[in-house]
Amino acid sequence: MLEISTDKSKLDVSLIHQFLSQTYWAKGRTLAQVKTTIDNCLCFGVYLNKAQIGFARVATDYAVFAYIMDVFILPEHRGNGYSKKLMDAVTTNKTLQDCKVWMLKTKDAHGLYKQYGFTNLSHPEKLMEKLL
C-alpha cells in the first residue's frame, strides 16, 4: 500500500541523505545539512508498505512562493507511477494553495514536471542566482 505523508517523524533521514549524496544536485551534502533542510521545509515522504521509497521537499512561505526540491523515488521503485502520485500530493497540498509562484530545477525530468504545469521560464532575464 502506498502512502504519502508530510509527517516528518516518519522520514528515514539516513536513507534520504544516502540517496541525495549520490545525485548530481546534492553530491557532498552532509547529513547535518540534510537534517537542516528537512527542519526548514514542508517535506513529503513516500512509503510502500511502510518503507520509505521516495521524498520531496518544498521551501515555501505558504502564501506566495513554493520551490520544489530533492524529489526522488528510489530506482528499484521507478516506473510504477509513484513520482506522479508524489507530484500530485505536492501540488495539491492544501497548505500551498495560496502560492502563486512555483519553481524547481531539473536536468532530466522535464516531462514529469510539464504534466503539472511547469514550463521554461517566461522571463529568464528576471531571474538571478548566486552559486557558491
Q: What is the mean pLDDT of residues 80-107?
A: 97
In-domain check, residue 130: no
For residue range 45-79, list pLDDT tens digits in order.
999 999 999 999 999 999 999 999 999 999 999 99
Amino acid type, 129: E
In-domain check, residue 32: yes
- What pTM value is reported for the model? 0.94
Under 8 Å between Cβ of 23 and 11: no
115 closest CA partner among 93, 73, 87, 75: 87
The CATH number given to whatever domain includes residue 61 is 3.40.630.30
Q: How many domains does the chain have?
A: 1
Q: How many CA atoms lie within 13 A of 107 on its CB side?
A: 5
What is the span of the domain harbouring residue 12?
2-118
In-domain check, residue 8: yes
Amino acid type, 118: F
H helices of 1-132, where?
Answer: 13-20, 31-39, 82-92, 110-114
